[in-house]
Amino acid sequence: MTRTPTPTDARVPTPVTAPPGAWEELVTAALLGTDRRTPPGCAPGAHAPTALLDAAAAETVRRRAGLRPAPAGRRPEPAPEDRRPPLPAAAARRLTTLLTDRPGTAGGGRRGTAPDLMELLPQWLAAANAHGFAPPPEALPALLDAARGRTDLRPAALAFAGPRGLWLARLNPDWRFALRATPGGGTALPGPEAAEQVRRLWEEGLFAERVALLAALRSRDPAGARALLASTWPTERAEDRLMFLDSLRSGLEPADEPFLEAALADRSRNVRATAAELLSALPDSALAARMAARAVTCVFLDRTLEPPAIAVEAPHECDPGMERDGVVARPPSGRGARSWWLGQLVEAAPLAAWTSRFGGRSAEEIVALPVTDDWQGDLHAAWCRAAVRQRDGTWARALLGAPTAPEAGGPGAVSLAERAKLLGTLGPDERATWVAGFIATHGLSEAFQLLGMCTVPWAPPLGRAVVDALDIARDAGSYPWSFSGVMGLAERCLDPSEAGRLDGLLAIPDESEDAAPGAGGYWAEAFQRLVTTLRLRAAMAEELRAG
Amino acid sequence: MTQQGVRWTADQVLALAPDAASREAGSRLGVAATWSAAGSSGDGVVWGLCEGSGGRPYRTVVDVVGVSGPAYECGCPSHEFPCKHAIGLLLLWAGGGDAVPVAEAPDWVERWIAGRRGRVAGKRTASSAGVTAGPGDQRAARRRAEQRAERITAGATELEQRLADLLRGGLAGAEQSGYELWEETAARMVDAQASGLASRVRDLGGIPSSGAGWPVRLLEECALLHLLDQGWLRRDRLPDDLAATVRSRVGLSASADGPAVRDRWLVLAQHDTADSRLTTRRIWLYGADTARTALLLSYGAAGRAPELALPVGSAFEAEVSAYPGAGRQRVALGERFTPPAPADIRPEGVTTSRAAVRYGEALRADPWLDAVPVTLARVVPVPDGDHWQLADAEGDTALPLSAPAGSRPGLWRLVALSGGAPVRVFGEFGHRGFTPLTAWPAGPGPAVPLY
């Protein structure tokens, strides 16, 4: 290494170096050694190294003593003002604690009775956003880091982070996700500038930015989003068209029909299929009417049977008209072509068509009709998909049936996954009541998926049903970790006011003969954690109310 | 002092934790349901019973306002200090509310307080006894000091020889010879009882692998080490203050002999540096009346947090006295009259140019000084390529951030706090750049620790 070193690093303050060159010569002599290079102003020989060190010492102190500030770089634009009121002090402290908790670092293994703070962060953020508080600026980096690691946190975390959070994200590449999630990087302007900005971002933005822009615009101005999309539609690439089309799913309205109908003739099969799917979610659309006409010819009431039953004559071919309307001709492997086509026709037909097809019978009466030749599974599954797509509560209710029915716990014509989706079309209370009834009859082991559909905090009957079922599971002598999924949900979703009802479950019960060894202690611990977490959630809510 | 006044913030409590894992474990325990019979005495003693998974709960007690920082006791078997229970209990207390009410201390807490205060008083008596040692002891002490000085002189002479050899052969060779040469030399300096020389020598070993520009840095540090050797060898010809500085830089400890200065001290910053043997805690104080900045050093064995801990942004009334040496910046904490309590004192600030001048002036008294403490009055963090600088809000000059400061999470807290607007920043500035330690927003608001 003999190259002459850079005397100063650009980052450190600028030293005053006069006379110029003296220091460089000292460094060169030091690198090569005084045996090879005599430093300036020294006699060669035994004393040269000491003379070099003397000179270098004087020069080092001189350079450091003469440090001057560097010229200032270009300042960042100041962060936009955040008009929200600041968090109350106790809530700000809580946020610090929640953000300090990182999953998987606290020894691992059994959780003991301590709550999982990271799991409470989403709830805390939702509540803080509902109150409309602004975060303490110094908490923003930890907040953005948390949102970086957990995509599910992002919408709430970014809403809470507010304008200063976006301002900060623009300065750190690690937080670029925040800009992608917010069209225009959050620099939303009102009035005509906004329109101009939207237009420019739509034409020049990255794909992810354009998707985010379209989705955001769609949520507040469906027609404007449609017009923006139509303006460049023919020039977009096929996979981009598919993603853009998907954004029409939210806020779908009858006025979308002409655009979607045109997309049925798209070059891309996936675009055609998505357009057809969206059209079928508009029960008054021409496509829905065409599909209804096809579907009703395949399904009819056979009155010669006693009692009368639904008979099915599945399509014998997939004609070009069907294909144009989005029916996929090739079935997946292992699936019969005719039942595949039938399923698609029924799924896309408006549910109202069946009432007239079956002599004015209600949804409930139609679902109750027997179906011949093993077609019930196909037919009911297609109706489920139609009810979800058309958000039809009446049909969903009919297909769900009574939660206490033996087949509700499966196996039945309607799977648990389908029931969970059907629940999504009902109101929150009805949903909670149905799941509570289900748990009371069938226990917890199948309930996880259904519980995930219920609004938080759980309505009282649902909370009681879950706690009772946990109590029963404990008495049955199993270990609590068989129910850790439901237990974790309960920690996050039970109404904190229910904590008092759990007191009776905290004690370690006497071990019965048939119980799993030690299970009682583990259950007491699990319930303690549940109560601790509920109390903590109550405290969190109280702190946010203090504003 | 009201209960409210003594209470710390969660941040301040978390700063006590020895590592990230115990911070997290402590956070989990900072909830009411984990604790029973929790209480506080109103004058800074907090206690409670922590329900573990075992049969008997742990008894945890913390004296927040101990003479030499918080003191902890917990029945748990943990080797962490403070343990997660103490952290959890303090968090619960810091959280406010009714979780830790003011109460009569139970017997076991009373016994602990009594025992502890007895020990501290005993220590004080012992140290004051040392001052009145007899003439025989003084002679023996002088003889020991002379022997040690001779050893150091031998060490410094040997070190000079090694530096001369290095420069004769050229620094280019140092890149190949690596750590071992320096480690061996450092060990020789430890034998010579010159710990200051030893640690400087050890630092030299890391420079050849420290990236671009290393020859300059190696020459600078070799030259300053040579300067220190020469200072030691001619210490009897130096002015008193400079001689004291040389003695302390070489590694001779002196006792704080300055007059006691009573003031209301704001805790400006607290940060730890650790090597394999030792954790060093630097606590910067700012005197509200004297406008003086003072440094408290506190040490802990490897893996343990030093015992002295003071919450950043709080202030307390106390006496300090200075150690000998340049600027008399380092002080020892004497009697404390009040516990640390949140305060809205802010240190006086200067411009970036003034900060640079201050470093230059300080070098006159101590040429080995890497940085001086300084508060910048109104600066804006500004990105500068891959790095950051603090630019004067009025004016076009800036101080670059030191390399380590630019890669710490504290940088982003500073940028977030500023939001492009001027902030007041306390930190250390020297030839490596500015290291921000604490900042205050432009408007009202508490100090934000950046370390």
Show me where the domains of chain A are located.
89-96+117-181, 192-279, 283-426, 435-546
Whether A185 has a pLDDT exceeding 50, the answer reads: no
Q: How far is B125 from chain A (nearest CA, A)?
A: 42
Least-confidence region, from A157-166, A439-448, B4-13, B270-279: B4-13
Fold of B352-449: OB fold (Dihydrolipoamide Acetyltransferase, E2P) (2.40.50)
**Chain A residue numbers touching B437 (CB-CB < 8 A):** none
Q: Confirm or reject contact between A74 and chain B (CB < 8 A).
A: yes
Q: Is the pLDDT of residue B131 over 50?
A: no
- CA distances (Å), A216 to each of A56, A164, A219, B70, B175, in order? 63, 20, 5, 52, 58
**DSSP bridge pairs for B39:** B47
Q: Which of B9, B220, B451 to mutate to test the interface with A (most CBs of A within 10 A)?
A: B220
Count of beta carbons in the 10 Å neighbourhood of residue B97: 13
> Is A61 an 8 Å CB contact of chain B?
yes
Distances (CA, A) of B132 to A43, B125, B129, B140, B164: 55, 11, 6, 14, 46
Chain A residue closest in CA terms to B381? A75
The number of helix segments (H) and strand segments (E) in chain A equals 26, 3
Beta-strand runs (E) in A44-182? 70-71
SS3 assignment, position B442:
coil
Long-range pairs of B38-41 with CB within 8 A, sequence gap ≥ 24: B38/B89, B38/B92, B38/B93, B38/B99, B38/B100, B38/B101, B39/B100, B39/B101, B39/B102, B39/B103, B39/B104, B39/B105, B39/B106, B40/B3, B40/B93, B40/B100, B40/B101, B40/B102, B40/B103, B41/B102, B41/B103, B41/B105, B41/B109
Q: At what angle do helices B135-169 and B214-233 cross, to 10 degrees?
A: 140
Q: Which residues of A touch B172 (CB under 8 A)?
A: 1-2, 31-33
* Chain B residues 42-71 with a CB less than 8 Å from chain A: 51, 53
Condensed to tens digits (0 to 9), the pLDDT of residues B383-411 reads 988 899 999 999 899 999 998 887 788 99
Query: How does pLDDT run across B69-93, given as a tens digit for each residue?
Result: 678 888 887 767 788 888 888 888 8
- Cβ of B53 within 8 Å of Cβ of A112? The answer is yes
Residue A513: per-residue pLDDT: 66
- Measured in angstroms, the CA of A431 and the nearest CA of chain B are apart by 32
Contacts of B396 in chain A (CB under 8 A): 71-72
Mean of the per-residue pLDDT values for chain A?
83
Per residue in A238-253, pLDDT tens?
888 888 888 888 888 8
pLDDT digits (tens, 9 = 90+) for B343-382: 989 999 999 999 999 999 999 999 999 999 999 999 999 9
**pLDDT for B11 beyond 90:** no
Q: What is the mean pLDDT of residues A487-503?
A: 84
What is the enclosing helix (H) or strand (E) of A399?
A: helix A393-400
With cut-offs at 50, 70 and 90, classify the pLDDT of residue A414: confident
Tokens 């002490």 sit at which residue? Answer: B141
Q: Which residues, numbered 327 to 356 in chain B, qualify as contacts with chain A under a Cβ-Cβ cut-off of 8 Å?
A: 352-353, 355-356
pLDDT the model gives residue B3? 39
* Interval A273-329: pLDDT, tens: 899 989 988 888 898 899 999 999 999 888 888 888 898 888 998 888 898 888 888
pLDDT for res B128:
46
**Which residues of chain B make contact with A71, given a CB cutoff of 8 A?**
396-398
Cα B228 to Cα B235: distance, rounded to the nearest angstrom: 10
Mean pLDDT of the A426-436 span: 91
pLDDT for residue B1 is more than 60: no
Domain boundaries, chain B: 10-105, 136-250, 259-342, 352-449
Q: What is the model's pLDDT at position A6?
A: 41
Residue A416 in this model has a pLDDT that exceeds 50: yes
Q: Is A25 on the interface with B (CB under 8 A)?
A: no
- Any A CB within 8 A of B19 CB: no
Out of A209-223, A247-261, B201-215, which region has the weakest mean confidence (pLDDT)? A209-223
